Structure 1
């Protein structure tokens, strides 16, 4: 009978995990989840920042392409406004052979009100939500950000001031501000 008791006790000892082992595994998984969670929580801000940087690049490309096309078409370089060029089926208004700060420029850049809030100046600043936009600027903000983030998560397109001063695209954003 000694053999049978020995076999039975071994089978009980190898039957599974103890409660303490299970608790230790759960605690370790909790610690790992707590350290990984902040990285995943910030992915929305990273995505909006990447979207804004892509939009800024698109505005710069449209500006360069429209300028080159206007020069090839012998547009009046000294004219302050009134000229147009067509890009991808969109008429783009020009100022000093560069795209004017209006909705035609953002449309040619592929920026729509589905993904972005687009403000064509002049716009008065709203404290804590919207920066001021001058009459020669367009402000682009991603949709889905908090009202407070709207003041610190944007790009501005400032049209050319003269034939020798090209437009300026300014990005004011980081992943934290674009939550």
Structure 2
């Protein structure tokens, strides 16, 4: 008796069909990773903005609450004379106090400084905004707008 080992054509086609069905269900899960990564980057950027503002404020306090600029890593950061935090209306403020904002555009917005995600379906649905306080020592308001879970705009 002569037996051959291996797969028949029917078995091979069955395996290919099963793999096709599994990949049809798995692909949408992997396709959503880009928006998840962008959401994580926004959350990370908001933490960096908070840290940069606090560090700049600490340096301003250590310098005697007077300077209009503080120097961080060789960069002159424009400070608000009232609050002692980086200004929110110039590229020499909070944006300069961050070492890198790759993946984000930054510019003055309607209220304060805004960092918007590059490639988002709607930029204003995927951003971090920095608005300086108005009274002495009042910390800035840092708002994260991340509509990834609601409307998918942060994709």
TM tier, shorter chain?
0.7 to 0.9
Residue 161, structure 1, aligned to residue 134, structure 2: yes
If you compute each CA radius of gyration, which structure gives the higher value, 1 or 2? 1
Using the size of structure 2 for normalisation, the TM-score is 0.85
**Whole-Å separation in 1 of the counterparts to 2:45 and 2:130:** 11
Match of 2:117 among 142, 145, 169: 142
**Whole-Å separation in 2 of the counterparts to 1:151 and 1:87:** 29
Deviation at 1:35, TM superposition (A): 1.7
> What pairs up with 1:32-51 in 2 under 5 angstroms?
32-51=22-41
Deviation at 1:18, TM superposition (A): 2.2
Question: 2:78: which partner in 1?
Answer: 93
Deviation at 1:174, TM superposition (A): 4.3
In structure 2, list runs of 5 or more residues that go unmatched.
none
Deviation at 1:173, TM superposition (A): 0.9
Question: 1:151: which partner in 2?
Answer: 124
What do you get for the CA RMSD once the two structures are aligned? 1.8
In structure 1, list runs of 5 or more residues that go unmatched.
1-6, 77-81, 122-132
**Whole-Å separation in 1 of the counterparts to 2:153 and 2:62:** 41
Question: 2:99: which partner in 1?
Answer: 110
- Alignment size in residue pairs: 148
Deviation at 1:151, TM superposition (A): 2.6
Question: 1:128: which partner in 2?
Answer: none
> What pairs up with 1:53-132 in 2 under 5 angstroms?
53-76=43-66, 83-95=68-80, 96-101=83-88, 102-104=90-92, 105-112=94-101, 115-121=103-109
**Whole-Å separation in 2 of the counterparts to 1:138 and 1:28:** 51
Give the secondary-structure state (helix, strand or coil) at the position aligned to 1:63: helix
**Whole-Å separation in 1 of the counterparts to 2:142 and 2:123:** 17
Using the size of structure 1 for normalisation, the TM-score is 0.75
